[in-house]
Amino acid sequence: MKLIRNPNQIQDLSLKLKSKGKRIGLVPTMGYLHAGHLSLVRRAVKECDVAVVSIYVNPLQFGPREDFKRYPRNLKQDMLLAKTAGADYVFAPGDTDMYRGEFLTTVGVDKISSILCGTSRPGHFTGVTTVVTKLFNIVLPDISYFGQKDAQQAVIIKKMVRDLNVPVAIKVLPTVREPDGLAMSSRNAYLNRSQRQDALILYKALGRARCLIRQGERNPRKIISVIKRLIQRVDSARIDYIDIVDAADLSSKKKITGKVLVVLAVFIGKFRLIDNIALRV
Amino acid sequence: MKLIRNPNQIQDLSLKLKSKGKRIGLVPTMGYLHAGHLSLVRRAVKECDVAVVSIYVNPLQFGPREDFKRYPRNLKQDMLLAKTAGADYVFAPGDTDMYRGEFLTTVGVDKISSILCGTSRPGHFTGVTTVVTKLFNIVLPDISYFGQKDAQQAVIIKKMVRDLNVPVAIKVLPTVREPDGLAMSSRNAYLNRSQRQDALILYKALGRARCLIRQGERNPRKIISVIKRLIQRVDSARIDYIDIVDAADLSSKKKITGKVLVVLAVFIGKFRLIDNIALRV
């Protein structure tokens, strides 16, 4: 496995690979890899001739008061993990390699970027779609892999790809969870022992929603109200949002039908965690 | 030469060509081809394995009161001209092939899109960068060709390509002019006989600016003032803007040095024409 830091270098390599008919798989990450990322890497290895993991903590997707500076980083460990999962290349540009000089261009997706996580993180998804466009242009993947944990991100990227005719297939793989149910996230590293315990409430709340829906409840407000009370019982928890939305366009459901997502974001102490489940009714 | 209307069809073809190492040249146009366009096509034919001319009157780059509906169209004649110039494919999507369903994604370049033509045509350049991104993703060119007549468009597209790492080389070719100096433009078809005569004032004004600069004048305001008076002598002419700007970033020059553009937009009757000259001082 090889580490490449320079965008032009990997773009040249990718152009060469593509001109020889090789299929490239890309797993875009912000590093501090966990089993969720690695499930994506293994899939890329399986389905493509060349598997690339990009590692870049993208400043553009963090708000001014967010955790850009303290976001966990460990390139050495990431390299080991990516290699073990079978990756051919790690593309890890330096902080200044991606936005040189006066950067003026943005790729934005209207409407679905300003709801849910977009409400408390304005500009976040425009940062994501802009950097993902850059990564696609640099690595030129045939397939790119994303995790279902970031459900809204996946829907937005799929919409961008469709709207702009981006020649990349988007595959979204299931959320990987800790044995106790907590969704894998690099940000879990922030949690102390009691917060780690409290963080389980996200999974428990989603489980309760699943139960209620399976038992026949079709009124989203009733379900949201139940899991809201459940979460509020945890002292360190503060709800950012809970919603039940259409899995395709993220619009709030008035009645639970078709393919839906139960989505939530909850602060545990000062750390904001997200999780979701998909259900077909 | 072959006509393709379906974006997916030409994208599949392009992917195949690229996987065989073929170099694709793209000339994006809104059709009603003239000698300016054809100079781009001939260059693409010369430099690439496969030359594609796209013809699409892009609704996204027209304001609500602009000339989208009456913009001249003649696909049959365009096909003949493109074939004569040596093009391999004309890609002419139908009106509804490019923006299907609820279209939410935009590619925008800040600052340089809201000056000069962007002042009187808000949203125009975002329409351009969005459709050009789509065309690049659909046709997958190695090189794309643009005319210097649309100088601001060329600067904006180059900036977008650099910012987003788009794997396309942008080549900007000289403005082609009628024997009397009028810059070739599909919109010249709007002009009646006397307006056609009056339209020459754009070229004359630029010629005067060139003279003054060659004679040593370095104060943009003095030059602008002279050519303003010159244009105002033509009854049917109404100035939209005149400026002398840096050729690389379009910033207004306070003193004429380096590579500059003299740029102007003038209404002749109700038809807005643009032109420019580049000078190195």
- Rounded to whole angstroms, the Cα distance separating A219 from A232 reads 20
- Does this model's pTM top 0.90? My answer is yes
Domain spanning B2-173: CATH superfamily:
HUPs (3.40.50.620)
The residues in B 125-164 lying below 8 A from A, measured between CB atoms, are 129-130, 133-134, 137-138, 140, 159-160, 163-164
| Nearest Cα to Cα of residue A132 among A109, A100, A102, A148 | A109
SS3 of A51, please?
Answer: strand
Q: Flag whether residue A104 sits within 8 Å of chain B, measured between CB atoms.
A: yes
Task: Say yes or no to pLDDT of A146 above 90.
Answer: yes
Low-confidence ranges of chain B (pLDDT < 50): none
Distance from CA of A175 to the nearest CA of B (A): 27
Q: pLDDT digits over A241-274, tens only?
A: 999 999 999 999 999 999 999 999 999 999 999 9
> What is the per-residue pLDDT for B122?
97
Say which DSSP state A188 is in.
G
d(CA A264, CA A201): 11
CA distance A19 to chain B (A): 4
Outline which parts of chain B fall under CATH 3.40.50.620: 2-173
Q: Compute the nearest-CA separation of A163 from chain B (Å).
A: 6
pLDDT above 90 for A169: yes
Specify whether the CB–CB gap between A202 and A275 falls below 8 A.
yes
Choosing among A130, A131, A160, A163, which should be mutated to test the B contact, i.e. which has the most B CBs within 10 A?
A: A163
Whether pLDDT at A92 is above 90: yes
**Do B27 and B145 touch, CB atoms closer than 8 A?**
yes
ipTM of the complex: 0.97
Quote the pLDDT of residue B95. Answer: 82
At a CB cut-off of 8 Å and minimum separation 6, what does B156 contact?
B109, B112, B113, B125, B128, B129
How many other CB atoms are found less than 10 A from the CB of residue B122? 11
Tell me, what's the pLDDT at A201?
98
Give the domain A186-274 fold.
Pantoate--beta-alanine Ligase; Chain: A,domain 2 (3.30.1300)
Whether the pLDDT of residue A95 is over 90: the answer is no
Q: pLDDT value at position B27?
A: 99
Contact A163 B109 (CB under 8 A): no
Q: Are B108 and B21 in contact (CB under 8 A)?
A: no
Contact list, B7 vs chain A (CB under 8 Å): 165
Q: Beta strand pairing status for B169-173 and B143-147?
A: parallel
